[in-house]
């Protein structure tokens, strides 16, 4: 199971637990609705932050792979513009 799925499961569990707790709390309905709204806004902000972190991580990994592929291509291509693979030489 990936870290992202575990984190999402934990956050979802916390959100459901918080919501159920607030619904059964001995507060006035209007106070409970305000609290639910505030908590949901906080949760949305937190999820946006986590999503931005996720996108940043994916972007970093993509750049790393792109650089590795570029380096491999440079190593594979000889200065003469030939691709050397398994004793076969192909001219560009």
Would you state the pLDDT for residue 81?
60
Count how many domains the chain has: 1
Query: Does residue 37 sit within a domain?
Result: yes
Query: Does residue 84 sit within a domain?
Result: no
Q: Write out the residue range of the structural domain in which residue 47 sits.
A: 12-78
Query: Does residue 87 sit within a domain?
Result: no
* Tens of pLDDT, residue by residue, the chain (92 residues): 677 778 778 888 888 887 777 677 776 778 877 887 888 888 888 888 988 998 999 999 999 999 999 888 888 876 556 655 555 555 55
User: pTM value?
Assistant: 0.47
Query: Does residue 33 sit within a domain?
Result: yes
3-state secondary structure the chain: CCHHHHHHHHHHHHHHHHHHHHHCCCCCHHHHHHHHHHHHHHHHHHHHHHHHHHHHHHHHHHHHHHHHHHHHHHHHECCCCEEEECCEEEEC
Query: Does residue 90 sit within a domain?
Result: no
């Amino acid at each position: 199971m990936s870290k992202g799925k575990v984190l999402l499961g934990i956050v979802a569990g916390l959100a459901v637990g918080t919501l159920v707790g607030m619904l059964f709390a001995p507060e006035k309905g209007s106070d409970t609705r305000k609290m639910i709204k505030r908590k949901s806004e906080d949760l949305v902000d937190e999820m946006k932050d986590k999503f931005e972190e996720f996108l940043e991580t994916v972007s970093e990994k993509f750049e790393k792979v792109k650089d590795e592929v570029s380096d491999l291509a440079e190593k594979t291509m000889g200065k003469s513009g030939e691709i050397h693979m398994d004793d076969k030489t192909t001219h560009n």
